[in-house]
Amino acid sequence: MWLAWKSLKDFDSMFLNLSSCDFLSLIKKELSKNTTGEITDVNQLNDQQQHLVFVVDNKSFVKDTLQLSSRNMEKLSEISTLLSYIPHQKVVVEYSSPNIAKAFHVGHLRSTIIGGFIANLHEFIGHDVTRLNYLGDWGTQCGLLLAGYQQFGSEDDLHQNPLYHLLRVYVMANKEAEKNSSFLDHAKHLFFQMENGEKTILTHWKKFRDLSIEEYNKVYKRLGVKFDKYESESMYSKAAKYVLERMEENGHLSTDKNNPKVLKLKLANGQEQNVTVAKSDGSTLYLSRQVYSCISTHH
């Protein structure tokens, strides 16, 4: 089997402390230690692409690689000469991120599997990985859920099958909101109360949130998925409101014809665009909470 690297120039970006020639020398040095015969030769071709070609014995290579990995999986990044030249970094991988009171569906599964793979890959290389699950647990949809539960909810059904019942209530609440404007206004007011710390409302919200997380953890356990940290939109509600208040005080926000609070941004092409960042009553939007979340994660 012949393995060819696309170009030796690529090593300048992958192995920051090694030149192309040094890398070839390193490979030949490691090859001289080889006693199992899986790599029989290595050469640098003198063409314009500067290909590096490994001559590999298929059976020996596969056998020895699998044996080495299985014996030293956790420490492979430390004992591997090649991996040791990749600078270690702090990596945050955010994945899964379901919305509370909704069943774990295929969209969440896709994110969970891909995110877990990416986290495992970075961890294998030797990076310091933080696995983050960012829950959707705030916003007008929570007001709709609370209003729906007041009208359609059942404590018995909730405890028998939490996510199924909460999703059913949420669907019924959305249908009611479409035909009943007073119901929608009530749901918005409930969310406004949440943002302003009304204890009774928050107690109900927290129960729905805790039941949702409990059910999600059962799925994660079956999938073999783990997280180092749980964060959520609700964590950044107060901070986002504070930032919006300061922006309004400094004259950066204005009110459009539909009353929401907007921020005027200048785009790269020189044009200006209004971006809605808060509701007319001052309640935060997903965008404003997400922006503060990104700032917090970066720091």
Q: Are 90 and 128 in contact (CB under 8 A)?
A: yes
Catalytic hit among 102, 189, 204, 252: 102
| 102 is a catalytic site residue | yes
Q: What angle do CA 256, 237, 211 make, to 5 degrees?
A: 125
For the chain, strand residue ranges (E) read: 2-5, 39-44, 52-56, 90-94, 128-135, 229-232, 253-255, 261-266, 272-278
| 204 is a catalytic site residue | no
Q: Are 66 and 80 in contact (CB under 8 A)?
A: no
Strand partners, 53: 4, 43
Please give the Cα distance from 168 to 190 (Å, whole number): 19
| 105 is a catalytic site residue | yes
Q: Are 286 and 233 in contact (CB under 8 A)?
A: yes
- Return the percent helix, strand and coil in the chain, to nearest 5: 60, 15, 25
Burial class (CB in 10 A: 0-12, 13-18, 19+), 174: middle
Q: What angle do CA 64, 67, 73 make, to 5 degrees?
A: 125
Catalytic hit among 28, 88, 90, 108: 108
Catalytic hit among 33, 90, 105, 299: 105
Q: Active-site residue numbers?
A: 102, 105, 108
